Chains A and B, each alone.
Chain A
Amino acid sequence: MQNKNIQNSKRYKVRGSELIGICKDAALKINKHNADEFEIFAASSVENEIEIFKGKVETLSFSDSIGVGIRIFKDRSIGYAYTTVLEENSIEDCIGNAVANARITSSEEYNYLPVEEETVNKKKLIDDRALFHENFLDYSIESKIEMAKKLEALTKSKDARIVDIDSVGYHDSIYETAIFNSAGFCDKYKTTTCLIYVSAISKQGEDTSTGDFFGCAREPSRLDLEEIAGKAANRSVSVLGGKKIKSQRANLLLDQVVSAQLLGVVAGCLTADSVQKRKSLFEGKVGQKIFSIGVNVFDDGTLPDGLSSRPFDGEGVIKGKTSVFEYGYLKTYLYNTYTARKDKTRSTGNAVRASYRSTPEVGISNFYMEPSETDFNTLLNETGSGFYVIDIIGLHSGVNPISGQMSMGAKGIWIENGSLKQPVKEVTIATDILSFCRSIKKIGNDLRFIPASGYIGSPSLLVSDIMISGK
């Protein structure tokens, strides 16, 4: 390959103070306008993306971007604007747009910045030491390319039936952000993250199958390439020769990744915003038993290894740990400041900003189900006969979070007498969100997180009596 040593991330200079400076400069300009309150959010990211195909670099991309988003509060109305151009007149235009936007949004009594008396946690529970790993900066582009190449080769070597690796890639980013508001909040943090993934195509006779897996961490040394390669290979070859089975109701054993995806659906219905707008099945259900067994679910923005951990949320509220379900009972929704005021409670620190392009919305951080002591083989035994679901497809089109209906494609292996038998494909599984919660019978001990819109974790789950549609 013809790439020389370039853009070594060692050269990365921390820019938190620069971001604060940008916020303060913008604040001075806002003072000329007749705003009641304001908030400036600045974020920068430096990213690296590598795709490998057949042992060669297919794509190598670098990006370095920065943007500012401004919220203007006027007469309890909020206007928003952002810009990626930070020249003086662009910032002026951005402020002007935000001020103009505040004129057309409706006025709401709870539209004002968070104040200290409202916060649950007064002191930050996690900081840059956990979120930003200095070691990350030691990795050169070349070493990252080598990692991705190694993952490609490793995955290919796992099974003779693997004929192609259709994608293998590495992506990392250094993200820094600062929030400055007129109520006196001014703080920043920075994070490092990396993600590596591989997808393997396998063939046996006429049948083709694909399987993928990934790993993510705060620094490359935490990525377990052996494990990722093994899982991707296994997910591809284990469903080779899969057949459609006849339609029936059966027990399902859900792989951790599948469980986490479904738990993510549940999480989406627990934001106070969706409840208050009458778009959640959990409306009016706080204090009720939702799971039939003693499930504990947390949203914890302070997990040391959680990729969604932050010292404070998208509007500067200090993050903590929220117990969402305790022993199967719904304890609370997830709140930002506005929705909390509406429900006469306190923010759980769940104001989430996807980027400077959007205003803070309510969302999850590290959202996970507490594992039990039960190992996978015990779960397998207890399933008796049923369907071990390795992968689901069509989650975004097959789940309606408002009506609660769930119907999605699935592939995996049929279980008989507690052991894995025949591969299954081209079937669907269908239930609804509340029934799904009730049908969980047993929780595994193998908690695993997946990056989604947040960082969601679940152990393998045994669920009973779910409709499978096939022949």
Chain B
Amino acid sequence: MIENRLAKKILNILLGNGADFSEIFIQKRAFNNLRLEDSKIENSSSGYELGCGLRLWVGDSTFYAYVDSLEESKLINAAKILSSAINGTSSLKILDLTEAKSSYVTDIRKPPGSIQSDARKDILELADRSARDFNPAVIQVTSTLSDTAEETYIANSYGSFSSEKIVKIFLAVNVVARRGKNIRTGYKSLARSSGYEAFDFKNPADLALEASGIAVTMLDAVGAPAGELPVVIGPAFGGVIFHEACGHGLEADAVLKNASVFKDKAGKKIASEIVTAIDDSTLEYRWGSYKFDGEGFPSSRTVLIKDGVLQNYIYDLRTSKKLGAKQTGNGRRQSFRNVPFPRMSNTFIDSGDEDPDSIIRSVSRGIYAKEFAGGQVDPATGDFVFGISEGYLIENGKISFPIKDTTIIGNGPEVLKKIEAVGNNLDFAPGFCGKNDQLVSNEVGQPTIKVEKITVGGIKD
């Protein structure tokens, strides 16, 4: 994308006024987006973006600029302007760039460029038919398919460079079902860091059936209870509780700013001893996986909590330097327009040994929360909420009625200590995580778990 010669030249221009660090991040992306609604292909769009982000540090300050171009003269000009903003004391200069290595290897078999437009359309039409055929109560299906083919090149003043080709596929199916006055929705998505072979992993028709299944089941939903109750959280997307309630507090920028409840807790017991949690950006073809993070550091597996004891935080380069810790390869950014900071990749509670059915049987009155509409946390206090989009009452050890959409609210550190059971059925689900106005791809994951009690925001006493 750019010659090392030019990268070196720019890095040195950025260092010219005494910067402590410089970096160049180049990205080229091609997108295709297709949306089906009302059983019609409503929107088909394509996009092309190319640009370069320039970053430097002086003291504790970061300076950033980007250009929508790779023209040598524009890059040099932007680097000069950015460098002129500072007046530092370092006298760094780099002479050579060495390629960084990553252990994560991919083999993309069906890249977006090899796929005909009609094949994209077929995927959405298949999902649409499948969702509608499930039940006559289904009144609307919206499905979207997007693919991204991306190339990145990153070089920095440590004399290291990396390059990566990334392919991502995303399919989402939204179903609306209606009976009388009741309207309910169901949502499922499939997202992989791979080519269209993603659909060998899961058939679009099956995904659509699952979404319809949720919408139609929820038509019979009763009002959720209000108050503190035992909550069994289902596998896969249930992991969003850990992501929100704890993961964000483990991101080192929150720790650095005194805005994390987990500050100064390394080596201390923060969760019940049956909890082990991991962030792993090397899981094959998962939505949150990559070879290199947004700063050119290799992806890795980081144990965050082992047997209830806090082991490690999630770092980018800046926070690892500031806190004197080892890089974990979690410096991520939305695009060349953005500054990287610590972000989760694929974050999950590891498998335990309980049988998921026996976990349900152990609850006499509570909630089984299976799918979620997402959640939010305040890392400084650990207070979180998340919205249950598919939930059920548990009565006498059995799943009974579905419950209407409801929010549960709690405190991350407290909930971690109240985890009473961890199942043996670890599974994952993809999503997007937003922080400081940047969206990145993540997977969340967990087996079935049971929390002693959480406040359920229903409407019935």
Contact of A397 among B66, B85, B373, B381 (CB under 8 A): B373
Residue of A nearest to B51 (CB): A84
Residue of B nearest to A408 (CB): B407
Q: Is the CB of B68 within 8 A of A84?
A: yes
Q: Is A304 an interface residue (CB 8 A)?
A: no
Q: Is B195 an interface residue (CB 8 A)?
A: no
Q: Is B3 an interface residue (CB 8 A)?
A: no
Interface window among B41-49, B362-370, B419-427: B41-49
Residues of B near A32 (CB, < 8 A) are none
Residues of B near A438 (CB, < 8 A) are none
Q: Is A34 an interface residue (CB 8 A)?
A: no
Knowing A1-B61, A244-B455, say if A281 contacts B383 (CB, 8 Å).
Answer: no
Knowing A105-B42, A469-B456, say if A426 contacts B373 (CB, 8 Å).
Answer: no
Spell out B's residues near A (CB within 8 Å). 18, 34, 37-38, 40-51, 58-69, 81-82, 84-88, 117-118, 120-121, 139-140, 142, 176, 178, 182-185, 218, 224, 226-228, 257-259, 261, 337, 339, 372-376, 378, 380-381, 383-387, 389, 404-411, 455-459, 461
Give the CA-CA distance A4 to B87 in the complex, in Å: 7
- Name 27 A/B residue pairs within 8 A (Cβ), A-sorted: A53-B60, A65-B68, A79-B44, A79-B45, A80-B44, A82-B46, A90-B48, A101-B44, A101-B45, A106-B40, A247-B461, A281-B183, A359-B43, A396-B376, A398-B387, A400-B387, A402-B185, A403-B182, A403-B183, A404-B183, A405-B404, A407-B406, A428-B457, A467-B458, A470-B227, A470-B455, A471-B228
Residues of B near A431 (CB, < 8 A) are 459
Cβ of A279 to closest chain B Cβ, rounded Å = 6
Residues of B near A81 (CB, < 8 A) are 45-48
Cβ of A241 to closest chain B Cβ, rounded Å = 13
Q: Is the CB of B378 within 8 A of A393?
A: yes
Give the CA-CA distance A79 to B44 in the complex, in Å: 6
Q: Is the CB of B407 within 8 A of A394?
A: yes
Q: Is the CB of B85 within 8 A of A4?
A: yes
Residue of B nearest to A1 (CB): B61
Q: Is A28 an interface residue (CB 8 A)?
A: no
Contact of A247 among B42, B218, B226, B389 (CB under 8 A): B226
Give the CA-CA distance A67 to B68 in the complex, in Å: 9
Residues of B near A167 (CB, < 8 A) are 257
Interface window among A56-64, A177-185, A224-232: A56-64
Give the CA-CA distance A163 to B263 in the complex, in Å: 15
Q: Is the CB of B383 within 8 A of A426?
A: yes
Q: Is A357 an interface residue (CB 8 A)?
A: yes
Residues of B near A209 (CB, < 8 A) are 381
Residues of B near A403 (CB, < 8 A) are 182-185, 218, 404-405
Give the CA-CA distance A63 to B383 in the complex, in Å: 34
A166-B257, A396-B374, A426-B455 known; 17 other A-B pairs, CB under 8 Å? A58-B60, A60-B85, A61-B62, A65-B68, A83-B47, A98-B46, A100-B117, A104-B117, A104-B121, A167-B257, A247-B227, A396-B373, A397-B372, A397-B387, A426-B409, A428-B456, A467-B459
Q: Is the CB of A398 within 8 A of B373?
A: yes
Contact of A407 among B81, B88, B407 (CB under 8 A): B407
Knowing A57-B61, A61-B339, A94-B48, say if A393 contacts B85 (CB, 8 Å).
Answer: no
Contact with B along A80-118 (1 / 0, CB 8 A): 111111000010011001101111111010000000000
Give the CA-CA distance A332 to B263 in the complex, in Å: 52
Q: Is the CB of B45 within 8 A of A84?
A: no
Give the CA-CA distance A53 to B61 in the complex, in Å: 9
Give the CA-CA distance A78 to B435 in the complex, in Å: 34
Q: Is A345 an interface residue (CB 8 A)?
A: no
Residue of B nearest to A280 (CB): B183
Residues of B near A62 (CB, < 8 A) are 64-65, 81-82
Count how many pairs of residues, one from A and one from B, have CB atoms less than 8 Å apart in the complex. 271
Q: Is the CB of A105 within 8 A of B43?
A: yes
Q: Is A358 an interface residue (CB 8 A)?
A: yes
Q: Is the CB of A397 within 8 A of B374?
A: yes
Residues of B near A6 (CB, < 8 A) are 81, 84-85
Task: Find the residue from A66, A105, A407 having the highest chain B CB count within 10 A.
Answer: A407
Residues of A near B185 (CB, < 8 A) are 400, 402-403
Residues of A near B86 (CB, < 8 A) are 2-4
Q: Is the CB of A277 within 8 A of B339?
A: no
Contact of A467 among B218, B226, B381 (CB under 8 A): B226
Give the CA-CA distance A63 to B53 in the complex, in Å: 9
Q: Please classify how large the interface on chain A is, using the bins under 10, 10 to 19, 20 to 34, 35 or more.
A: 35 or more
Residues of A near B389 (CB, < 8 A) are 400
Give the CA-CA distance A108 to B41 in the complex, in Å: 10
Give the CA-CA distance A57 to B63 in the complex, in Å: 9
Q: Is the CB of A407 within 8 A of B140?
A: no
Give the CA-CA distance A234 to B23 in the complex, in Å: 40
Residues of A near B88 (CB, < 8 A) are 2
Residue of B nearest to A163 (CB): B258
Give the CA-CA distance A59 to B316 in the complex, in Å: 15
Give the CA-CA distance A407 to B388 in the complex, in Å: 10
Contact with B along A382-399 (1 / 0, CB 8 A): 000000000001101111
Contact of A278 among B45, B87, B178, B411 (CB under 8 A): B178
Residue of B nearest to A60 (CB): B63
Q: Is the CB of A53 within 8 A of B226?
A: no
Cβ of A9 to closest chain B Cβ, rounded Å = 13
Q: Is A131 an interface residue (CB 8 A)?
A: no
Task: Enumerate the 10 nearest inter-chain pairs by beta-carbon distance, A residue then B residue, closest first.
Answer: A428-B457, A394-B385, A397-B387, A469-B226, A397-B374, A61-B64, A80-B45, A409-B385, A101-B44, A106-B40
Q: Is A208 an interface residue (CB 8 A)?
A: yes
Task: Find the residue from A84, A97, A210, A405 having the highest chain B CB count within 10 A.
Answer: A405
Q: Is the CB of A397 within 8 A of B228?
A: no
Q: Is A442 an interface residue (CB 8 A)?
A: no
Task: Find the residue from B120, B185, B383, B384 having the highest chain A CB count within 10 A.
Answer: B383
Give the CA-CA distance A4 to B61 in the complex, in Å: 13
Q: Is the CB of B339 within 8 A of A82?
A: no
Residues of B near A85 (CB, < 8 A) are 48-50, 68-69
Residue of A nearest to B457 (CB): A428
Q: Is the CB of A407 within 8 A of B405?
A: yes
Q: Is the CB of A277 within 8 A of B140?
A: yes
Residue of B nearest to A83 (CB): B48
Tell me which residues from 418 to 471 in chain A have a Cβ below 8 Å from any Cβ of chain B: 425-431, 467-471
Knowing A64-B67, A394-B385, A426-B383, say if A93 contacts B48 (CB, 8 Å).
Answer: yes
Residues of A near B375 (CB, < 8 A) are 394, 397
Residue of B nearest to A106 (CB): B40
Give the CA-CA distance A181 to B404 in the complex, in Å: 47
Knowing A1-B61, A210-B378, A279-B140, say if A430 contacts B455 (CB, 8 Å).
Answer: no
Residues of A near B259 (CB, < 8 A) are 164, 166, 201, 210
Tell me which residues from 194 to 238 in chain A have a Cβ below 8 Å from any Cβ of chain B: 201, 208-210
Residues of A near B47 (CB, < 8 A) are 81-83, 357
Q: Is the CB of B44 within 8 A of A104?
A: yes
Task: Find the residue from B44, B51, B372, B455 having the highest chain A CB count within 10 A.
Answer: B44
Q: Is A292 an interface residue (CB 8 A)?
A: no
Give the CA-CA distance A210 to B260 in the complex, in Å: 12
Residues of B near A429 (CB, < 8 A) are 457
Q: Is A417 an interface residue (CB 8 A)?
A: no
Q: Is the CB of B44 within 8 A of A430?
A: no
Give the CA-CA distance A462 to B373 in the complex, in Å: 28
Q: Is A377 an interface residue (CB 8 A)?
A: no
Q: Is the CB of A166 within 8 A of B380?
A: yes
Cβ of A323 to closest chain B Cβ, rounded Å = 27
Q: Is the CB of A208 within 8 A of B226?
A: no
Cβ of B137 to closest chain A Cβ, rounded Å = 12
Residues of B near A90 (CB, < 8 A) are 48
Give the CA-CA distance A7 to B259 in the complex, in Å: 33
Give the CA-CA distance A469 to B384 in the complex, in Å: 15
Contact of B61 among A60, A164, A426, A427 (CB under 8 A): A60
Knowing A4-B86, A82-B48, A93-B48, say if A398 contacts B407 (CB, 8 Å).
Answer: yes
Cβ of B177 to closest chain A Cβ, rounded Å = 10
Residues of A near B46 (CB, < 8 A) are 80-82, 94, 97-98, 100-101
